[in-house]
Amino acid sequence: MKKKQPFSPAGFSYTILKQVCNLIPPHLVNHLAKEYGVQYRNPGLTPWSHVVSLVYAQLTHAVSLNDVCDGLRMNETMLTPIRGATAPAKNTLSHANRERSPLMAEALYWEVMDHLMTQSPYFAKGKVRRGYLRRFNKAIYAMDSTTIKLVAKSMDWAKHRRRKAAAKCHTRLNLQSFLPNCVIIDTAKHHDDTKARELCSGLQAGEIVVFDKAYVDFDHLATLDHEGVFWVCRAKSNMNYRVVETLNTIDNPRVLRDEVIELTTATSYRAYPKRLRRVVALVEVDGEDCELEFLSNHMAWSAWTVAELYRCRWDIEVFFKEIKQTIQLADFLGHNANAVHWQIWTGLLTHLLVRYLACLHSWQHSFTRLFTIVRAVLWRRLHLGELLECYGTAKPPGRLCAAPQQAYLWEFS
Protein backbone atom coordinates (compact mmCIF):
# COMPACT_ATOMS: atom_id res chain seq x y z
CA MET A 1 0.00 0.00 0.00
CA LYS A 2 1.34 3.41 -0.92
CA LYS A 3 2.40 5.38 2.11
CA LYS A 4 0.72 8.74 2.56
CA GLN A 5 3.17 11.60 2.19
CA PRO A 6 3.40 14.00 5.13
CA PHE A 7 2.14 17.53 4.69
CA SER A 8 4.82 19.72 3.13
CA PRO A 9 4.34 23.47 3.65
CA ALA A 10 3.95 25.32 0.39
CA GLY A 11 4.92 28.94 0.02
CA PHE A 12 2.09 31.41 0.65
CA SER A 13 2.21 35.15 1.07
CA TYR A 14 -0.13 35.37 4.10
CA THR A 15 0.39 34.04 7.59
CA ILE A 16 -2.39 32.06 9.26
CA LEU A 17 -3.04 34.94 11.67
CA LYS A 18 -3.49 37.33 8.76
CA GLN A 19 -5.93 34.93 7.06
CA VAL A 20 -7.98 34.79 10.26
CA CYS A 21 -7.95 38.58 10.78
CA ASN A 22 -8.82 39.19 7.12
CA LEU A 23 -12.24 37.70 7.84
CA ILE A 24 -13.03 40.97 9.63
CA PRO A 25 -14.23 43.49 6.99
CA PRO A 26 -11.77 46.29 6.15
CA HIS A 27 -12.45 49.68 7.76
CA LEU A 28 -15.15 48.16 10.05
CA VAL A 29 -13.02 48.55 13.18
CA ASN A 30 -12.13 52.17 12.35
CA HIS A 31 -15.76 52.97 11.60
CA LEU A 32 -16.90 51.57 14.96
CA ALA A 33 -14.02 53.32 16.73
CA LYS A 34 -15.26 56.68 15.44
CA GLU A 35 -18.85 55.81 16.35
CA TYR A 36 -17.95 54.96 19.96
CA GLY A 37 -15.17 57.53 20.34
CA VAL A 38 -12.55 54.86 20.94
CA GLN A 39 -9.80 56.38 18.76
CA TYR A 40 -9.49 59.29 21.21
CA ARG A 41 -8.78 56.92 24.12
CA ASN A 42 -5.08 56.04 24.13
CA PRO A 43 -4.09 57.30 20.64
CA GLY A 44 -0.78 55.43 20.91
CA LEU A 45 -2.56 52.19 19.99
CA THR A 46 -4.83 52.11 16.95
CA PRO A 47 -8.21 50.36 17.38
CA TRP A 48 -7.25 47.82 14.72
CA SER A 49 -3.99 46.94 16.51
CA HIS A 50 -5.98 46.64 19.75
CA VAL A 51 -8.41 44.14 18.22
CA VAL A 52 -5.64 42.11 16.55
CA SER A 53 -3.72 41.96 19.85
CA LEU A 54 -6.72 40.59 21.74
CA VAL A 55 -7.56 38.07 18.99
CA TYR A 56 -3.93 36.95 19.10
CA ALA A 57 -4.18 36.62 22.90
CA GLN A 58 -7.17 34.28 22.59
CA LEU A 59 -5.65 32.23 19.77
CA THR A 60 -2.40 31.67 21.69
CA HIS A 61 -3.93 31.22 25.17
CA ALA A 62 -1.88 34.13 26.48
CA VAL A 63 -1.88 34.39 30.28
CA SER A 64 -0.53 37.91 30.76
CA LEU A 65 0.01 41.26 29.08
CA ASN A 66 3.73 40.50 28.76
CA ASP A 67 2.86 37.24 27.01
CA VAL A 68 0.82 39.13 24.39
CA CYS A 69 3.15 42.09 23.87
CA ASP A 70 6.38 40.08 23.75
CA GLY A 71 4.89 37.54 21.33
CA LEU A 72 3.72 40.26 18.96
CA ARG A 73 6.95 42.25 19.21
CA MET A 74 9.08 39.20 18.35
CA ASN A 75 7.00 38.63 15.21
CA GLU A 76 6.50 42.29 14.26
CA THR A 77 7.75 41.77 10.70
CA MET A 78 4.83 39.39 10.12
CA LEU A 79 2.40 41.47 12.18
CA THR A 80 2.76 44.70 10.17
CA PRO A 81 1.33 43.20 6.93
CA ILE A 82 -1.93 42.58 8.82
CA ARG A 83 -3.36 45.94 7.68
CA GLY A 84 -0.57 47.84 9.43
CA ALA A 85 -1.08 46.39 12.90
CA THR A 86 1.63 47.20 15.45
CA ALA A 87 2.80 45.48 18.63
CA PRO A 88 1.62 47.39 21.72
CA ALA A 89 3.59 48.08 24.87
CA LYS A 90 2.33 46.46 28.06
CA ASN A 91 1.10 49.68 29.67
CA THR A 92 -0.45 50.87 26.40
CA LEU A 93 -2.50 47.69 25.99
CA SER A 94 -3.52 47.72 29.64
CA HIS A 95 -4.65 51.36 29.37
CA ALA A 96 -6.64 50.62 26.19
CA ASN A 97 -8.44 47.69 27.83
CA ARG A 98 -9.28 49.85 30.83
CA GLU A 99 -10.35 53.08 29.15
CA ARG A 100 -11.92 52.10 25.83
CA SER A 101 -15.61 51.31 25.77
CA PRO A 102 -16.36 47.57 25.40
CA LEU A 103 -19.54 48.54 23.54
CA MET A 104 -17.33 48.77 20.47
CA ALA A 105 -16.20 45.14 20.94
CA GLU A 106 -19.85 44.07 21.30
CA ALA A 107 -20.86 45.94 18.14
CA LEU A 108 -17.87 44.48 16.29
CA TYR A 109 -18.95 40.95 17.15
CA TRP A 110 -22.47 41.38 15.77
CA GLU A 111 -21.29 43.29 12.69
CA VAL A 112 -18.76 40.57 11.82
CA MET A 113 -21.41 37.89 12.31
CA ASP A 114 -23.80 39.70 9.93
CA HIS A 115 -20.98 40.10 7.39
CA LEU A 116 -20.02 36.43 7.49
CA MET A 117 -23.62 35.28 7.18
CA THR A 118 -24.04 37.58 4.17
CA GLN A 119 -20.83 36.31 2.58
CA SER A 120 -21.78 32.66 3.13
CA PRO A 121 -25.53 32.17 3.64
CA TYR A 122 -25.03 28.49 4.41
CA PHE A 123 -23.07 29.57 7.51
CA ALA A 124 -26.31 30.81 9.08
CA LYS A 125 -28.47 27.95 7.83
CA GLY A 126 -28.30 24.60 9.48
CA LYS A 127 -30.40 21.74 10.70
CA VAL A 128 -31.00 20.20 14.06
CA ARG A 129 -28.64 17.29 14.20
CA ARG A 130 -30.73 15.05 16.40
CA GLY A 131 -33.26 12.58 14.99
CA TYR A 132 -36.69 13.59 13.82
CA LEU A 133 -36.40 17.14 15.20
CA ARG A 134 -35.15 18.01 11.72
CA ARG A 135 -38.78 18.29 10.68
CA PHE A 136 -39.20 21.63 12.51
CA ASN A 137 -39.24 24.49 10.03
CA LYS A 138 -39.11 27.25 12.63
CA ALA A 139 -35.98 28.23 14.51
CA ILE A 140 -35.20 26.45 17.78
CA TYR A 141 -33.28 28.35 20.45
CA ALA A 142 -31.62 27.25 23.67
CA MET A 143 -31.28 29.78 26.48
CA ASP A 144 -28.83 29.46 29.35
CA SER A 145 -25.99 31.18 31.19
CA THR A 146 -22.45 30.25 32.16
CA THR A 147 -20.43 31.62 35.05
CA ILE A 148 -16.94 32.91 34.29
CA LYS A 149 -14.75 32.90 37.38
CA LEU A 150 -12.68 35.98 38.17
CA VAL A 151 -10.18 37.00 40.86
CA ALA A 152 -12.18 38.03 43.91
CA LYS A 153 -9.52 40.20 45.59
CA SER A 154 -9.04 42.39 42.52
CA MET A 155 -12.61 42.66 41.23
CA ASP A 156 -14.92 44.33 43.72
CA TRP A 157 -17.30 45.23 40.90
CA ALA A 158 -18.00 41.52 40.23
CA LYS A 159 -18.31 40.09 43.74
CA HIS A 160 -20.47 36.99 43.58
CA ARG A 161 -20.13 35.47 47.02
CA ARG A 162 -18.02 36.18 50.07
CA ARG A 163 -14.76 34.96 48.54
CA LYS A 164 -15.69 34.72 44.89
CA ALA A 165 -15.99 37.07 41.95
CA ALA A 166 -17.59 36.09 38.67
CA ALA A 167 -19.25 37.34 35.52
CA LYS A 168 -22.15 35.68 33.71
CA CYS A 169 -22.61 35.20 30.01
CA HIS A 170 -26.34 34.87 29.26
CA THR A 171 -26.84 33.42 25.77
CA ARG A 172 -29.66 32.56 23.40
CA LEU A 173 -28.23 30.06 20.94
CA ASN A 174 -29.74 29.08 17.58
CA LEU A 175 -29.56 25.28 17.62
CA GLN A 176 -29.66 25.03 13.81
CA SER A 177 -26.72 27.31 13.06
CA PHE A 178 -24.95 26.97 16.43
CA LEU A 179 -24.62 30.77 16.51
CA PRO A 180 -25.84 33.03 19.33
CA ASN A 181 -28.66 35.47 18.60
CA CYS A 182 -28.41 37.33 21.88
CA VAL A 183 -25.58 37.62 24.43
CA ILE A 184 -25.67 39.58 27.70
CA ILE A 185 -22.52 39.99 29.81
CA ASP A 186 -23.25 40.89 33.42
CA THR A 187 -22.09 40.19 36.95
CA ALA A 188 -23.06 36.85 38.50
CA LYS A 189 -24.91 38.26 41.51
CA HIS A 190 -28.23 38.57 39.63
CA HIS A 191 -30.53 35.58 39.20
CA ASP A 192 -30.95 34.17 35.69
CA ASP A 193 -34.67 34.94 35.44
CA THR A 194 -33.93 38.69 35.61
CA LYS A 195 -32.43 38.43 32.11
CA ALA A 196 -35.12 36.20 30.61
CA ARG A 197 -37.09 39.01 28.95
CA GLU A 198 -34.00 40.56 27.38
CA LEU A 199 -32.84 37.21 26.03
CA CYS A 200 -36.24 36.46 24.50
CA SER A 201 -36.77 39.86 22.94
CA GLY A 202 -37.15 39.61 19.18
CA LEU A 203 -38.53 36.08 19.07
CA GLN A 204 -41.10 35.57 16.33
CA ALA A 205 -44.42 33.73 16.48
CA GLY A 206 -43.99 30.00 15.88
CA GLU A 207 -40.37 29.88 17.03
CA ILE A 208 -39.32 27.59 19.87
CA VAL A 209 -37.18 28.39 22.90
CA VAL A 210 -35.85 25.83 25.39
CA PHE A 211 -34.45 26.74 28.80
CA ASP A 212 -33.74 25.42 32.27
CA LYS A 213 -35.88 26.01 35.34
CA ALA A 214 -33.63 28.91 36.40
CA TYR A 215 -35.42 31.04 33.77
CA VAL A 216 -38.95 30.01 34.80
CA ASP A 217 -41.06 33.11 35.43
CA PHE A 218 -44.76 32.50 34.85
CA ASP A 219 -45.45 36.14 34.03
CA HIS A 220 -42.79 36.00 31.31
CA LEU A 221 -44.03 32.60 30.09
CA ALA A 222 -47.50 34.08 29.68
CA THR A 223 -46.00 36.90 27.60
CA LEU A 224 -44.25 34.39 25.33
CA ASP A 225 -47.46 32.41 24.92
CA HIS A 226 -49.38 35.59 24.05
CA GLU A 227 -46.78 36.39 21.36
CA GLY A 228 -47.15 32.92 19.81
CA VAL A 229 -43.73 31.66 20.91
CA PHE A 230 -43.58 27.99 21.94
CA TRP A 231 -41.39 27.06 24.90
CA VAL A 232 -40.15 23.98 26.75
CA CYS A 233 -38.58 24.10 30.20
CA ARG A 234 -37.96 22.10 33.35
CA ALA A 235 -40.54 22.33 36.10
CA LYS A 236 -39.58 23.49 39.58
CA SER A 237 -39.91 20.92 42.35
CA ASN A 238 -42.14 23.17 44.51
CA MET A 239 -44.70 23.89 41.77
CA ASN A 240 -48.33 23.42 42.91
CA TYR A 241 -50.84 22.29 40.29
CA ARG A 242 -53.85 20.12 39.60
CA VAL A 243 -54.26 17.66 36.74
CA VAL A 244 -57.04 18.62 34.34
CA GLU A 245 -56.61 15.90 31.72
CA THR A 246 -54.39 12.89 31.12
CA LEU A 247 -53.09 12.50 27.57
CA ASN A 248 -51.74 9.53 25.64
CA THR A 249 -49.93 11.08 22.67
CA ILE A 250 -47.26 8.40 22.16
CA ASP A 251 -46.70 4.77 23.09
CA ASN A 252 -43.19 5.14 24.44
CA PRO A 253 -42.11 3.28 27.62
CA ARG A 254 -39.78 6.15 28.55
CA VAL A 255 -42.72 8.57 28.82
CA LEU A 256 -44.15 8.12 32.31
CA ARG A 257 -46.85 10.81 32.36
CA ASP A 258 -48.39 13.24 29.88
CA GLU A 259 -50.88 15.64 31.46
CA VAL A 260 -52.66 18.95 31.07
CA ILE A 261 -52.46 20.93 34.30
CA GLU A 262 -53.48 24.21 35.92
CA LEU A 263 -51.49 26.14 38.51
CA THR A 264 -53.12 26.29 41.95
CA THR A 265 -50.97 28.83 43.77
CA ALA A 266 -52.79 32.19 43.65
CA THR A 267 -49.77 34.22 42.55
CA SER A 268 -48.73 31.74 39.87
CA TYR A 269 -52.31 31.38 38.60
CA ARG A 270 -52.71 35.15 38.24
CA ALA A 271 -49.46 35.27 36.26
CA TYR A 272 -50.36 32.26 34.06
CA PRO A 273 -54.11 31.44 34.13
CA LYS A 274 -53.99 29.23 31.02
CA ARG A 275 -53.43 25.48 31.02
CA LEU A 276 -49.96 23.95 30.74
CA ARG A 277 -48.55 20.73 29.38
CA ARG A 278 -46.66 18.55 31.88
CA VAL A 279 -44.53 15.64 30.65
CA VAL A 280 -42.57 13.26 32.87
CA ALA A 281 -40.02 11.10 31.05
CA LEU A 282 -36.91 9.04 31.64
CA VAL A 283 -33.90 10.87 30.22
CA GLU A 284 -30.32 9.62 30.22
CA VAL A 285 -28.06 11.89 32.29
CA ASP A 286 -24.38 10.96 32.73
CA GLY A 287 -25.09 7.40 31.61
CA GLU A 288 -28.01 6.86 34.00
CA ASP A 289 -31.76 7.20 33.50
CA CYS A 290 -33.28 10.07 35.48
CA GLU A 291 -36.93 11.04 35.83
CA LEU A 292 -37.33 14.62 34.64
CA GLU A 293 -40.42 16.82 34.56
CA PHE A 294 -41.00 19.20 31.65
CA LEU A 295 -43.46 22.02 30.98
CA SER A 296 -44.63 23.38 27.65
CA ASN A 297 -47.36 25.56 26.18
CA HIS A 298 -47.75 23.37 23.08
CA MET A 299 -50.60 20.87 23.40
CA ALA A 300 -50.29 19.06 20.03
CA TRP A 301 -46.74 17.74 20.19
CA SER A 302 -46.12 14.19 21.27
CA ALA A 303 -44.74 13.79 24.78
CA TRP A 304 -41.44 12.44 23.45
CA THR A 305 -41.05 15.49 21.19
CA VAL A 306 -41.17 17.67 24.30
CA ALA A 307 -38.46 15.56 25.94
CA GLU A 308 -36.34 15.55 22.77
CA LEU A 309 -36.57 19.32 22.45
CA TYR A 310 -35.24 19.74 25.94
CA ARG A 311 -32.47 17.21 25.26
CA CYS A 312 -31.27 19.44 22.41
CA ARG A 313 -30.59 22.12 25.02
CA TRP A 314 -27.33 20.30 25.72
CA ASP A 315 -25.87 21.92 22.59
CA ILE A 316 -25.59 25.23 24.43
CA GLU A 317 -23.41 23.49 27.01
CA VAL A 318 -21.12 22.44 24.12
CA PHE A 319 -21.00 26.09 23.03
CA PHE A 320 -20.02 27.19 26.55
CA LYS A 321 -17.38 24.46 26.70
CA GLU A 322 -15.84 25.74 23.46
CA ILE A 323 -15.57 29.35 24.61
CA LYS A 324 -14.44 28.56 28.18
CA GLN A 325 -12.11 25.60 27.63
CA THR A 326 -10.97 25.73 24.00
CA ILE A 327 -10.86 29.53 23.64
CA GLN A 328 -9.97 29.64 27.36
CA LEU A 329 -11.92 32.56 28.73
CA ALA A 330 -10.23 32.08 32.08
CA ASP A 331 -6.93 33.97 32.22
CA PHE A 332 -7.86 37.65 32.02
CA LEU A 333 -5.40 40.36 31.07
CA GLY A 334 -7.05 43.01 33.27
CA HIS A 335 -9.12 43.18 36.44
CA ASN A 336 -11.48 46.09 35.78
CA ALA A 337 -14.91 45.74 34.21
CA ASN A 338 -13.96 47.21 30.82
CA ALA A 339 -10.97 44.89 30.39
CA VAL A 340 -13.03 41.80 31.26
CA HIS A 341 -15.81 42.79 28.87
CA TRP A 342 -13.30 43.50 26.09
CA GLN A 343 -11.75 40.06 26.49
CA ILE A 344 -15.07 38.21 26.68
CA TRP A 345 -16.37 39.84 23.50
CA THR A 346 -13.04 39.29 21.74
CA GLY A 347 -13.12 35.65 22.84
CA LEU A 348 -16.59 35.30 21.32
CA LEU A 349 -15.28 36.98 18.15
CA THR A 350 -12.39 34.51 17.97
CA HIS A 351 -14.80 31.62 18.39
CA LEU A 352 -16.94 33.04 15.58
CA LEU A 353 -13.98 33.37 13.21
CA VAL A 354 -12.72 29.84 13.86
CA ARG A 355 -16.20 28.38 13.48
CA TYR A 356 -16.56 30.22 10.16
CA LEU A 357 -13.30 28.64 9.01
CA ALA A 358 -14.75 25.24 9.88
CA CYS A 359 -17.83 25.99 7.77
CA LEU A 360 -15.83 27.53 4.91
CA HIS A 361 -13.53 24.53 4.58
CA SER A 362 -16.15 21.85 5.39
CA TRP A 363 -14.30 20.80 8.52
CA GLN A 364 -15.77 17.52 9.81
CA HIS A 365 -13.71 17.08 12.96
CA SER A 366 -14.01 18.68 16.38
CA PHE A 367 -13.76 22.40 17.03
CA THR A 368 -10.95 21.74 19.50
CA ARG A 369 -8.82 20.02 16.86
CA LEU A 370 -9.32 22.88 14.39
CA PHE A 371 -8.39 25.46 17.02
CA THR A 372 -5.27 23.47 17.94
CA ILE A 373 -4.12 23.31 14.31
CA VAL A 374 -4.63 27.05 13.78
CA ARG A 375 -2.85 27.89 17.04
CA ALA A 376 0.13 25.66 16.19
CA VAL A 377 0.89 27.41 12.86
CA LEU A 378 -0.25 30.94 13.62
CA TRP A 379 2.89 32.62 12.22
CA ARG A 380 3.50 30.18 9.36
CA ARG A 381 2.93 31.25 5.75
CA LEU A 382 0.62 28.42 4.72
CA HIS A 383 -2.60 28.25 2.76
CA LEU A 384 -5.18 27.53 5.42
CA GLY A 385 -7.52 25.65 3.06
CA GLU A 386 -4.78 23.26 1.93
CA LEU A 387 -3.64 22.78 5.51
CA LEU A 388 -7.13 21.86 6.73
CA GLU A 389 -7.73 19.67 3.72
CA CYS A 390 -4.67 17.63 4.63
CA TYR A 391 -5.40 17.36 8.35
CA GLY A 392 -9.16 17.13 7.94
CA THR A 393 -9.29 13.96 5.87
CA ALA A 394 -8.13 11.54 8.56
CA LYS A 395 -9.82 8.16 8.26
CA PRO A 396 -9.96 5.31 10.74
CA PRO A 397 -6.96 3.01 10.37
CA GLY A 398 -7.46 -0.27 8.60
CA ARG A 399 -7.97 -3.43 10.59
CA LEU A 400 -4.74 -5.23 11.48
CA CYS A 401 -4.75 -8.91 10.54
CA ALA A 402 -2.84 -11.24 12.83
CA ALA A 403 0.20 -12.85 11.13
CA PRO A 404 1.99 -14.98 13.74
CA GLN A 405 4.44 -16.32 11.15
CA GLN A 406 5.88 -12.82 10.77
CA ALA A 407 6.50 -12.27 14.47
CA TYR A 408 10.14 -11.69 15.43
CA LEU A 409 10.98 -12.92 18.93
CA TRP A 410 14.50 -11.76 19.64
CA GLU A 411 14.99 -14.08 22.63
CA PHE A 412 14.64 -17.12 20.35
CA SER A 413 16.66 -15.85 17.36
| H or E stretch covering 263 | strand 255-263
Q: What is the pLDDT of residue 151?
A: 63
Residue 209 has pLDDT above 70, yes or no: yes
pTM of the model: 0.86
pLDDT for 113-129, tens place per residue?
999 999 988 887 765 45
pLDDT for 271-318, tens place per residue?
999 999 999 998 877 778 888 999 999 998 989 889 989 888 888 999
Give the integer Cα–Cα distance in Å for 55 and 59: 6
379 versus 129: which is more confidently predicted? Answer: 379
Average pLDDT over residues 354-382: 92
Residue 81 has pLDDT above 90, yes or no: yes
| Domain ranges within the chain, ordered by starting residue | 16-105+336-391, 213-312
Q: What is the pLDDT of residue 9?
A: 52
Give the integer Cα–Cα distance in Å for 368 and 395: 18
Q: What is the pLDDT of residue 410?
A: 39
Q: What is the pLDDT of residue 13?
A: 87
DSSP state of 228: T
Give the integer Cα–Cα distance in Å for 142 and 316: 6
Average pLDDT over residues 209-230: 92
Burial of residue 401, with CB atoms counted within 10 A of its CB: 0-12 exposed, 13-18 middle, 19 or more buried:
exposed
Residues 6+ apart with CB under 8 A from 37: 101
| H or E stretch covering 142 | strand 140-150
92 φ, ψ (degrees, to nearest 5): -65, -45
Average pLDDT over residues 189-193: 79
Least confident of 62-66, 118-122, 385-389, 396-400: 396-400
Report the mean per-residue pLDDT for the chain: 85
Residue 6 has pLDDT above 60, yes or no: no
